[in-house]
Amino acid sequence: MRFQLTDDQRALRAGVREVLARRFGPDALRAAVARPGLDRELWRALGEAGFFALRLPEARGGVGLGLPEAVLAFEEAGRASLPGPLLGTHLAAGTVPGAAEGETVVAVVDGALVEWWDEADVVVGEGGAGAVPMRSVDPLTPLRRVPDAVACTADPVAVLLTAAEQLGTATRACELAVGHARTREQFGRPIGAFQAVQHLCADLLVRTEVARSAVYAASVTGDAADAAAARVLADEAAAQGARDCLQVFGGMGFTWEAEVHLLLKRAWVRARRSGGAEQSEELLARALLSGTD
* Cα–Cα distance, 133 to 162 (Å, whole number): 23
What is 7-145's CATH superfamily? Acyl-CoA dehydrogenase/oxidase, N-terminal domain (1.10.540.10)
pLDDT digits (tens, 9 = 90+) for 57-74: 999 999 999 999 999 999
* Cα–Cα distance, 249 to 21 (Å, whole number): 23
Chain-wide mean pLDDT for the chain? 93
End-to-end CA gap in the chain: 16
Q: Quote the crossing angle between the two packed helices 40-48 and 7-23, to the nearest 10°.
A: 160
* Cα–Cα distance, 196 to 198 (Å, whole number): 5
* Cα–Cα distance, 105 to 218 (Å, whole number): 27
- How far, CA to CA in Å, does 9 sit from each of 49, 59, 176, 242? 15, 21, 25, 27
Q: Note the pLDDT of residue 56.
A: 96
Displacement of CA 151 from its chain's centroid (Å) = 22
pLDDT digits (tens, 9 = 90+) for 10-65: 999 999 999 999 999 999 999 999 888 899 999 999 999 999 999 999 999 999 99
Residue with more model confidence, 244 or 35: 244
Q: Note the pLDDT of residue 292.
A: 53
> Dihedral sign, CA of 276, 154, 13, 29?
negative
Q: Where are the domains of the chain?
A: 7-145, 156-291
* Cα–Cα distance, 240 to 8 (Å, whole number): 32
Q: Note the pLDDT of residue 129.
A: 78
Pick the closest to residue 51 from 211, 164, 186, 202 (CA basis). 164
Q: Phi-psi bin for 276: left (phi > 0), alpha (psi -120 to 50), beta?
A: left
- How far, CA to CA in Å, does 283 sit from each of 19, 56, 109, 156? 36, 28, 21, 11
Residue 67 in contact with residue 158, Cβ under 8 Å? no
Report, as an integer, the average pLDDT of 161-169: 98
* Cα–Cα distance, 264 to 97 (Å, whole number): 34
pLDDT digits (tens, 9 = 90+) for 119-157: 999 999 887 778 999 999 999 999 999 988 877 888 999
Element (H, E) at 110: strand 106-110
The answer to whether the 7-145 and 156-291 domains have the same CATH topology is no
Residues contacting residue 187 through CB under 8 Å, at least 6 positions apart: none
Specify the DSSP class assigned to residue 192: G
Residues contacting residue 148 through CB under 8 Å, at least 6 positions apart: 127
3-state helix, strand, coil in the chain (%, to 5): 60, 5, 35
Is the pLDDT score of 2 beyond 80?
no
Q: How confident is the model at residue 80 (pLDDT cuts 50, 70, 90)?
A: very high
Pairing between strand 122-124 and 106-110?
parallel
Q: List, as one string, the DSSP characters of 13-25.
A: HHHHHHHHHHHS-
Out of 126-130, 136-140, 209-213, 276-280, pick the least confident. Answer: 126-130
Q: Which numeric CATH code is attached to 156-291? A: 1.20.140.10
